[in-house]
């Protein structure tokens, strides 16, 4: 589980994650995806996360010195600060860029609907 940070549209949300640790960990990054639906430009409807530390170089920034705790912190930071220039969800990304108020309303609504206990 990961908690939505204060002062974000995901505040008070509890998001379930699936973490699959490969046999070659820490030389390969764990596979992490959201099981709880989340309205976010970098997380798709299947829960996949677009984050460089979840991928091996040269496309990614995974290093064996990273650990699962670091990855969860990185995911929490991504939730607080989306990267609309590297989206998995183009429509949500353009909404984030050009109509942030609507994005915030939608993200809060999804959090309330799917991530409230």
Just list the catalytic residues. Answer: 50
46 burial (CB, 10 Å; 0-12 / 13-18 / 19+) is exposed
Q: Are strands 14-15 and 2-3 parallel, antiparallel or unpaired?
A: antiparallel
Cis, peptide link before residue 26, omega less than 30° from 0: yes
Q: What share of the chain is helix, strand, coil (3-state, %, to 5)?
A: 35, 15, 50
């Amino acid at each position: 589980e990961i908690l939505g940070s204060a002062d974000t549209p995901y505040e008070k949300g509890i998001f379930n994650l699936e973490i699959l640790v490969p046999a070659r960990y820490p030389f390969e990054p764990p596979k992490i995806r959201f099981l709880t639906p989340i309205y976010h430009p970098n997380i798709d409807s299947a829960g996949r996360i677009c984050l460089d530390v979840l991928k091996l170089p040269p496309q990614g920034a995974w290093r064996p010195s990273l650990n699962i705790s670091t990855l969860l912190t990185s995911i929490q930071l991504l939730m607080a600060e989306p990267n609309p220039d590297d989206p998995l969800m183009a429509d949500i990304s353009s909404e984030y860029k050009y109509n942030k108020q609507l994005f915030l309303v939608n993200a809060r609504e999804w959090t309330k609907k799917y991530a409230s206990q």
